[in-house]
Amino acid sequence: MNARLYRSLYRIRRVEEEVARAYPTDAIKSPVHLSIGQEAVSVGVCEALRPTDIVFGTYRSHAMYLAKGGDLNAMVAEMYGKATGCARGKGGSMHLIDTDAGVMGTSAVVGTTIANAAGYAYALKTRRSDAVVVCFFGDGASEEGVFAETLNFASLKSLPVLFVCENNGYAIHTSQAKRQGRPDIAARAEAYGIPADRLDGSDVTGLLERTRTVLSGMRTLGGPHFFEVKTYRWREHVGPGRDFALGFRAESEAEPWVKNDPIPRLAALLPAAERAAIVQEVEAEVAAAFAFAEASPFPDPAELMIDIYQEAGNALACR
């Protein structure tokens, strides 16, 4: 299991490091919100899921998409705005989807997929499915009205949805302490009658084990559960760089998280030959994905009016 977790964590880290490398060349055509430092949350939770389980995410969901099995080539091509992208080059980094892998969508609008996840869970319950839905979101989303409304609905209907709040302590440049009168987000879930855990986002094996236990209960007894996972974003809110020079947070705040990075800790547990083989395999896969994106065509101009919403009577020639 250590090798499997290491491979997933290392793969996500290397993909995002390559995104950061390529971004200044203007080859990537959309804003990027990197998960570097937060990978263990997605990996620990998604490793416990079945292929039939469903995930919803946010604009910072490269890690979730890959951890759940989303197509890497399609993700990178999407960021390049290419026709081979998972949204045919029209969604960008913030709108990733791979329905075959159970990745039902990510959104640029804070909090919107929380309600989407509950709706999907309601459908699963109606169909008497034993699949579950996992909804990833940040601490900033817990300040949106849809958060309170959805938790109430999920509790009322006993929906099979696991809410995962990736609490990195910041909404763009504003710390949680300056935004929330009660920073204990898990306690707010408990107030709706939803069992909640406070977990360490650097402990990937602990996250995996707790998720397995919780999902086992959800599949047999139903009902929602809530994880508040403390984690830390190493890069700036949006973009490939670092933002400590802006003054809203100190680099010393990041140091404990960097020292506790689960990737080198897991690497140290593996035989050298096995670790080297994983690294070689991942490096080749990542290089191939970026080559695929670069070689792919841009969408035909006719794509501009396809897959868009049209009200009756609108003269736009859409399909």
Per-residue pLDDT of 184-234, as tens digits, reads 999 999 999 999 999 999 999 999 999 999 999 999 888 999 999 999 999
Question: What is residue 313's predicted lDDT score, i.e. its pLDDT?
Answer: 66
In sequence order, the β-bridge partners of residue 174 are 171
User: In this model, does residue 35 exceed pLDDT 90?
Assistant: yes
How many Å separate Cα 245 from the centre of its chain? 26
Average pLDDT, the chain: 95
Q: Determine the average pLDDT of the residues in 163-189.
A: 95
Q: Is 49 within 8 Å of 104 (Cβ atoms)?
A: no
Residue 54 phi/psi, 5-degree rounding, is: -120, 145
Domains of the chain: 1-295 (3.40.50.970)
User: Could you count the other beta carbons within 10 Å of the beta carbon of residue 157?
Assistant: 17
Residue 170 phi/psi, 5-degree rounding, is: -140, 140
Residue 166 phi/psi, 5-degree rounding, is: -85, 95
Q: Could you tell me the pLDDT band of residue 316, with boundaries at 50, 70 and 90? A: low
Question: What is residue 146's predicted lDDT score, i.e. its pLDDT?
Answer: 97
User: In this model, does residue 39 exceed pLDDT 80?
Assistant: yes
Q: Determine the average pLDDT of the residues in 275-299.
A: 98
CA-CA distance, 274 to 282, in Å (whole number)?
A: 12
CA-CA distance, 105 to 100, in Å (whole number)?
A: 12
Question: What is residue 29's predicted lDDT score, i.e. its pLDDT?
Answer: 82
Could you tell me what percent of the chain has a pLDDT over 90?
Answer: 92
Q: Could you tell me the pLDDT band of residue 314, with boundaries at 50, 70 and 90? A: low
**How wide is the angle at C-alpha 212 spanned by C-alphas 217 and 39, nearest 5°?**
135
